[in-house]
């Protein structure tokens, strides 16, 4: 490695270490993001507040409520006695669901025609959707249980309404824990953020503070300047990757099923493409603020189109095509597959090829635009 390159890298590290704000950003941001997306942004719904209007007040109705209690998804907070009561509770947001057990519940159950109704607050689609499916499941399993008991009691096969046999199978993340899904996403987002944003502003800072004028007149070559400026941030990005993997694995229990070497290798490929974006942004922007905005303009669509929050398959066709040029999209597939599925490189070859093409194109474009001159 050339000594000039080493000098630039050392200088860059001194500057990073002396800039406490950036340092805090680099070290704490992954942790913050991780905990935000691991906990707050969870789509796991638990303890949905519920009111119960038990008009039956029978042994059977109490048994049904026990089934709901045991499942833990609902928390029975109110026992009420009228329609108006649950209506106002839902309207004021104190409960999200109301369970209504009719007066003839016990009798109809014996006849095999029992009905209960569940009123859900659908204003939060996630909670509503989860509550609905959970309530159905609880109802079904409870019905199965009753049927089995009745069969045992009467000693003959029940002739009516065979209980619906719903068996869902969820692979890789059977409990659908959001953190499993989010942690790999956070790795992608942080890598993108650190490399693209910090590189762009580190390069633009030289121009903004006028130090570029002194750099230009040294024998430093353009590639040395570029590599020397971006390598420290690439190293920091890897430290962040490690940080997220360690916290994700030990704290959130996210599995690391794939080859760790491969994870770092393919993360490196992604880092090259986001460094390219940062470098390209630095050739457009004149101030750090402009650099920040330029990177942000690419970052937000990247996150939304990458499949981080919303599945790409569910997007309109047009947006699906747009997402094809978002490198984060490919990296998310790669990192999620490596962590959760534990696949090898062969299963990811399409993503690897797409990411490689992007890296070459953006780096090439940035290199063409990047000139070691003032004009």
Partner 1 sequence: MNDYLVQAANLKKYFGETHAVDGVSLQVASGEIYGLVGSDGAGKTTTMRLLVGALKPNEGSIEVCGYDVLRQTEQARSTIGYLSQRFSMYEDLTVLENIRFFAEVRGLSATEWLPRSMEILEFVGLEKFKDRRAGQLSGGMKQKLGLASALVTRPRLLLLDEPTTGVDPVTRQDFWQLVIKLVGAREGDGVSVIISTPYMDEASRCHRVGFMKNGQIIAEDTPSNLRARLNGRVLELRGGPLDVLRRVAHSDADVEDVQAFGDRLHIRVSEGTSKAVLKRLKKEITEAGGHVDELRSVPPGLEDVFIALSDHEYSSVFQPMN
Q: How far is the CB of 324 from partner 1 (least distance, A)?
A: 38
User: Of 268, 301, 317, 295, whose CA–CA distance to 366 is shortest?
Assistant: 295
Is residue 273 within 8 Å of residue 327, measured between CB atoms?
Answer: yes
Q: Which residue, 230 or 266, is less far from partner 1 as judged by CB? A: 230
Q: How far is the CB of 287 from partner 1 (least distance, A)?
A: 15
Q: How far is the CB of 6 from partner 1 (least distance, A)?
A: 8
Label the pairing between strands 117-120 and 97-101.
Answer: antiparallel
Q: How far is the CB of 229 from partner 1 (least distance, A)?
A: 13
Measure the CA–CA gap between 238 and 341, rounded to whole angstroms. 22
Angle between helices 260-284 and 349-369 (to 10 degrees): 30
Is residue 240 within 8 Å of residue 158, measured between CB atoms?
Answer: no
Q: Which of 97, 212, 237, 366 binds partner 1 (CB under 8 A)?
A: 212
Q: Which of 40, 70, 125, 374 binds partner 1 (CB under 8 A)?
A: 374
Q: Which of 21, 157, 219, 261 binds partner 1 (CB under 8 A)?
A: 219
Q: Lay out the site mask for partner 1 across 160-199 (x = CB under 8 A, - = otherwise).
A: ----------------------------------------
Binding piece for partner 1, criterion CB under 8 A, among 30-38, 97-105, 217-225, 343-351: 217-225
Q: Please, which of residues 14-53 interact with partner 1 by CB under 8 A?
A: 14-15, 18-19
Q: How far is the CB of 240 from partner 1 (least distance, A)?
A: 22
Alpha helices in the chain (DSSP H): 3-18, 20-35, 59-71, 83-91, 105-111, 125-154, 178-192, 199-208, 211-216, 222-250, 260-284, 288-305, 317-323, 327-336, 349-369
Q: Which of 216, 235, 256, 357 binds partner 1 (CB under 8 A)?
A: 216
The yes or no reply on residue 1 touching partner 1 (CB under 8 A) is no
Q: Which residue, 14 or 260, is less far from partner 1 as judged by CB? A: 14
Q: How far, rounded to the nearest angstrom, does the alpha carbon of residue 110 sit from its chain's CA centroid?
A: 47
Measure the CA–CA gap between 45 and 132, rounded to whole angstroms. 11
Interacting residues with partner 1 (CB under 8 A): 3-4, 7-8, 11, 14-15, 18-19, 209-220, 373-375
């Amino acid at each position: 490695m050339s000594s000039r390159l080493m000098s630039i890298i050392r200088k860059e590290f001194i500057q990073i270490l002396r800039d406490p704000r950036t340092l805090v950003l680099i070290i704490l941001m992954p942790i913050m993001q991780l905990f935000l997306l691991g906990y707050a942004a969870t789509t796991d719904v638990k303890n949905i507040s519920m009111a119960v209007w038990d008009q039956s007040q029978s042994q059977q109705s109490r048994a049904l409520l026990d089934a709901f209690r045991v499942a833990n998804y609902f928390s029975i907070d109110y026992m009420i006695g009228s329609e108006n009561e649950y209506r106002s509770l839902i309207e004021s947001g104190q409960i999200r669901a109301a369970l209504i057990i009719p007066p003839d519940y016990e009798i109809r159950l014996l006849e095999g025609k029992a009905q209960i109704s569940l009123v859900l607050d659908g204003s939060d689609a996630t909670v509503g959707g989860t509550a609905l499916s959970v309530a159905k499941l609880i109802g079904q399993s409870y019905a199965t249980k009753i049927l089995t008991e009745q069969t045992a009691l009467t000693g003959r096969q029940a002739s009516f309404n065979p209980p619906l046999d719903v068996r869902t199978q969820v692979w890789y993340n059977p409990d659908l824990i959001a953190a499993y899904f989010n942690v790999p996403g956070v790795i992608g987002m942080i890598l993108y953020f650190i490399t693209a944003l910090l590189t762009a502003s580190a390069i633009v800072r030289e121009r903004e503070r006028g130090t570029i004028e002194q750099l230009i007149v040294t024998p430093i070559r353009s590639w040395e300047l570029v590599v020397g400026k971006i390598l420290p941030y690439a190293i920091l990005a890897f430290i962040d990757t490690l940080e997220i993997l360690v916290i994700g694995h030990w704290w959130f229990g996210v599995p690391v099923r794939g080859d760790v070497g491969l994870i770092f290798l393919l993360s490196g490929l992604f880092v090259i493409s986001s460094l390219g974006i940062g470098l390209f942004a630095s050739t457009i922007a004149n101030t750090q603020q402009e650099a920040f905005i330029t990177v942000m303009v690419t970052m937000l669509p990247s996150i939304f189109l990458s499949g981080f929050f919303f599945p790409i398959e569910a997007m309109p066709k047009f947006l699906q095509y747009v997402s094809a040029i978002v490198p984060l999209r490919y990296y998310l597939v790669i990192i999620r597959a490596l962590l959760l599925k534990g696949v090898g490189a062969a299963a990811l070859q399409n993503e690897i090829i797409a990411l490689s093409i992007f890296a070459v194109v953006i780096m090439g474009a940035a290199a063409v635009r990047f000139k070691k001159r003032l004009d």
